[in-house]
Amino acid sequence: MSKTLADIGEFGLIHRIHELIKKEGVQAPEVTLGIGDDTASFRPREGYEQLVTCDCVVEGRHYLPDFITPLDLGRRAMTMNLSDIAAMGGGPLYALVSLGLKADMPVADVKDIYRGFIMELNPFGASIIGGNITKTMDATFIDITLIGEVEQDKLMRRSTARVEDVILVTGYPGQSAAGLKLMLHSKPTKDLQKHPLVRSFNSPSHRIKEGQAVANSRLASAMIDTSDGFLGDLGHICQESGVGALLIQEQFPISEDLRQAALQLKLDPYKLFLQESDDYELIITCSPEHAAQIHSTIAAVSDMPVTEVGRTTDAAGDIQLKLPDGSQHPITSVGWDHFAK
C-alpha cells in the first residue's frame, strides 16, 4: 500500500518536499534563504515593483478530486496565481505554498501536486521559497502566495480604462465553464478527462507572455484577467475605471468545441462566454488607433487569438449587449460570489 501523510508525519513530508524542490525546481541567486528557516528572504531588483497575490483552491468548491489528477491540480492552482501576475504585465519570481491536507492522503499525490507547481514555475526561473502544511479533517485546500515583478513604469491596472476604448480579449472564455458542466453531467472516465473543454477546466493556461508583451508595448489603457468570468471582470474594469461598455455579441470568440458542448448541454454559448468560467484569459482595453499594434504585439509572442468584442462608453458601470438584430440590452456583471444565497 502506498505511504500516507500519517505514515511519515509532518516533518517527514516537509523533508520530502524540500528534496523534491531542490532536485526539480530552479534555484534563483536572489534568494538568500529558501525553505528551511522561519522566513524565506530575497533581494529585489532595483527599478522593479514587487507584485504579490494569493489565491486558494478548496476541494469540492474549486475542483473535483475524482476528475483531476494531483499533477493537474498543482498546475491549476499555480496557474490561477500566475494569471494575476499576468494581468499586471509582470513575471513570477517566488511562490509560498500553504497546504491543508488530510492524513490519509498518499505522499505520492502531494509530491505530484508539487511537481505541478514546479512545472508551471520552472519556465520562468521562478521557485517555491516557503510554505506551510496543516492537517485538515475535511476538504483539502491549496493556498498559494505568488510574488512577481514588473518594471516600475510598466505596471498595468484595472482602474485606468478610458471612454471609447476598444475592448479586447485573448483566447476563448467560457470553455472552462463548459468543461465543468460536462464533468458535472458525466461519470469521471479517462476519456472525459481528455475532452478539450475538460482540459480547459483542469489544466488552464495563463497569459504571462501575452500580458508582458502588452505591458512592454505601453499601448494598453487597462488589463485584467478573467478569473471571475468575462462579464464579472469587465465589470471590475468598468467600476474601477468609471466607464461603461457596449459588447457586440456576434464578435464574441466562440470556439467550435464550445459551440458543440453548448448544443449538447442545451446552453447558450454566448452566456457561457459571459458568465463565470475559470479561463484565465486577459481583457485588454486600448485606444482604437492602438488596437492593431496590440494585436501584432501579442501575435509576436503567442498563437493565442485576440478578439475585439466591444467598446467602453461614458455610461459609468452600465454594460450593454448588442444582439445580431441590432437591439441592445443591459446585462449585469456577475462573477464568482462564494457566499451568495
Please give the residues from 40 up to 69 whose contact with a second copy meets the rule CB under 8 A. Answer: 40-44, 46, 49-56, 58, 60-62
Coil, strand or helix at 39: coil
296 lies in the site for a second copy, by CB under 8 A: no
Residues whose CB is less than 8 angstroms from the CB of residue 67 and which lie 6 or more positions away in sequence, other chains included: 183, 188, 192, 193, 198, 202
Residues 127-146 that bind a second copy (CB under 8 A): 129-139, 141, 143, 145
Q: Which is nearer to a second copy, 21 or 262 (CB)?
A: 21
Report whether 10 contacts 18 (CB < 8 A).
Answer: no
Single out the residue of 1, 2, 11, 23 in contact with a second copy (rule: CB under 8 A): 11
Report whether 64 contacts 198 (CB < 8 A).
Answer: no
Single out the residue of 20, 71, 78, 84 in contact with a second copy (rule: CB under 8 A): 84
Q: Which is nearer to a second copy, 104 or 289 (CB)?
A: 104
First to last CA, the chain: 43
Cα distance between residue 279 and residue 190, in whole Å: 22
Residues 202-261 that bind a second copy (CB under 8 A): 224-225, 227, 240
Cα distance between residue 134 and residue 78, in whole Å: 19
DSSP annotation of 326 reads S
304 lies in the site for a second copy, by CB under 8 A: no
Q: Which is nearer to a second copy, 74 or 130 (CB)?
A: 130
153 lies in the site for a second copy, by CB under 8 A: no
Backbone angles phi, psi at 266, to 5 degrees: 55, 45
155 lies in the site for a second copy, by CB under 8 A: yes
Residues 310-339 that bind a second copy (CB under 8 A): 335-339
- Dihedral of the alpha carbons of 269, 275, 280, 282, in degrees to the nearest 10: 90
Which one of the spans 86-94, 176-184, 246-254, 292-300 is the region binding a second copy (CB under 8 A)?
86-94
Give the C-alpha distances (Å, rounded to integers) separating 101 from 10, 66, 115. 10, 16, 16
73 lies in the site for a second copy, by CB under 8 A: no
* Shortest separation between residue 153's beta carbon and a second copy, angstroms: 11
C-alpha cell at 268: 447558450
Single out the residue of 32, 251, 260, 296 in contact with a second copy (rule: CB under 8 A): 32
* Shortest separation between residue 322's beta carbon and a second copy, angstroms: 26
